[in-house]
Amino acid sequence: MPLLVMKFGGTSVADLARIKNAAAKVKREVERGYDVIVIVSAMSGKTNELVGWVEATSPLYDAREYDAVVSSGENVTAGLMALTLQEMDVPARSWQGWQVPIQTTSAHASARFIDIPRANIDAKFAEGFKVAVVAGFQGVSPEGRITTLGRGGSDTTAVAFAAAFSAERCDIYTDVDGVYTTDPRITDKARKLPKIAFEEMLELASLGAKVLQTRSVELAMRYNVRLRVLSSFEDTDENSGTLVCDEDEIMESKVVSGVAYSRDEAKMTLVTVEDRPGVASAIFGPLAEAGVNVDMIVQNISEKNYAGHAGAVTDMTFSVPTNQVARAKKAMEDAQAAGHIKYDDLNVDTDVAKVSVVGIGMRSHAGVAAKMFAALAAENVNIKVIATSEIKISVLIDRKYMELAVQALHDAFELDKAGA
C-alpha cells in the first residue's frame, strides 16, 4: 500500500474546526488508496503558553521537565485528530513519541533523531488501521525521558518519518500556499514556485524564509524525500503548492530563484587586530564556544603599521544574530582579557539587514554578482559586507533600505516571470 506523510502546523490545527478541516484532507488521501502518517504540531500559541508556565514556575528549570511539559501540546492535538478521523469513519489512532518509539539523543530541547523503528506502526497498518497520528516535535532519550527537538521540530519529524517509511511524498500543510520568489508582503510581484531544488530551499530557509525549518530541509536532501508545501485553508490537488525536490526533477530553472532577507542581523568589527597566523582561530574559537552563530566574515588586510602596533594589523568584520550580540561581545572581551587576542575597539552596528539572492543557475551563469550590485547601486543602497557561495550571494545593508533592496533585486532578475 502506498504511504504518505502529512504534517499540519499549529495554525492548521488551531481549534476544533481547523482540526476537522485537516482531518478531511487526510480522509481524502485515504480514499485515494494511501496509508497515511499524520504529524501534528501543538495548537497555535499553545507551545508558547507552556514555555511561559515553565519559566514562571522555575526560571532555572530542569530541561528534562521542560520537555515533559512542552511536549504535551502535540499530545493533545494528536488525540483530537485521531478522534476526529474516527468520527469520519477513518480507522486511526494517535501515537506519542515514546510509543513509536522515536529514538533521539539526550540533548533536551534540541534532541536529534537516532532511529524510528517501523514495527509498531506497521503492525497497526496490517491490522487495518489507515492513519497513524503522531505527535511531532518529540521523542524519547536512551534513558527513557521525553525529549523535544527544538522549535520547528514537527517539520523535521515529518521528514524523518517519510524517510523511515519510504513515503511517496511528505506534504507540509501550513498557512501559506507554497514557496514564493520572495515575501509577498514586500512585493506583490512575488510568484509562487511550482518546484524548487533542495539546495535552494535550504539556503532560503537558512537566510530567513520561514516556510520550512532548516533541519527538515537538510534531512529531506540527505534522504531525497520529496516535500510539498501547501495551504491547509485551500482546496488542493496534485498540482497544488510547491514541490521541494532534487534539481534533476526541475527541467528549467531561472538563474536566480528567490530573494531572501533577514532583519535580525548585527555587524561587529574588531578594529586593529594583530595580523598574524592563528588570529582568526583566536577570534572565532571563543565565539563558537559561546554558542554564537557567525555568518558573514570579512578581513581587511593591511600592510601598514599603526602607532602602538609593532607589526601589521587588520580589521575583522563579521555578522551575528542581533540576539547574540551581548554574548559575542563578552566572548571577545574575555578573549582579550585572557591575552588570546588584542584589538583597539569593538564596533557594533545593529541597524543592518541581510539580503540574499539564491539560485542553482548561478553555477553555470556568470554576471549574477555584477547584476545584483548594479541593481542596488541604482537605488543608492550601500553594501557593507558581501558573502558568497556556489548558489548564493548575500549582502549586509542599512536596515532602512531592506524592502527597497528586495524589490529592486526581484525586478532586476525578473522573478515575477516564469521560465529560464
Could you tell me the CATH superfamily of domain 3-175? Acetylglutamate kinase-like (3.40.1160.10)
Instruction: Report whether pLDDT(191) > 70.
Output: yes
Q: And the C-alpha cell for 37? A: 502518517
- Which CATH code fits 249-420? 3.30.2130.10
Annotated binding site for ATP: 7-10, 174-175, 180, 185, 210-211
Average pLDDT over residues 201-221: 83
Distance CA 131, CA 30 (A): 8
Provide, rounded to the nearest whole percent, the portion of the chain with pLDDT above 90.
72
Instruction: Report whether pLDDT(300) > 80.
Output: no
The pLDDT value given to residue 208: 62
Which pLDDT band holds residue 417 (cuts at 50, 70, 90)? Answer: confident
Spell out the alpha helix ranges (H) of 139-190: 153-164
Instruction: Report whether pLDDT(209) > 90.
Output: no
Average pLDDT over residues 133-144: 97
Distance CA 131, CA 92 (A): 5
Annotated binding site: 7-10, 47, 74, 174-175, 180, 185, 210-211
Annotated binding site for substrate: 47, 74
The mean predicted confidence, pLDDT, of the chain is 91
Give span(s): CATH 3.40.1160.10, the chain: 3-175
In 309-371, the DSSP E strands lie at 313-321, 345-358
The pTM is what? 0.83
Instruction: Report whether pLDDT(33) > 90.
Output: yes
Distance CA 260, CA 126 (A): 45
Which pLDDT band holds residue 151 (cuts at 50, 70, 90)? Answer: confident
Give span(s): CATH 3.30.2130.10, the chain: 249-420
The pLDDT value given to residue 108: 93
Spell out the alpha helix ranges (H) of 292-420: 325-337, 368-378, 402-412
Distance CA 256, CA 259 (A): 8
Q: Give 58-115 pLDDT, tens digit per residue.
A: 988 999 999 999 999 999 999 999 999 999 999 999 999 999 999 999 999 999 999 9
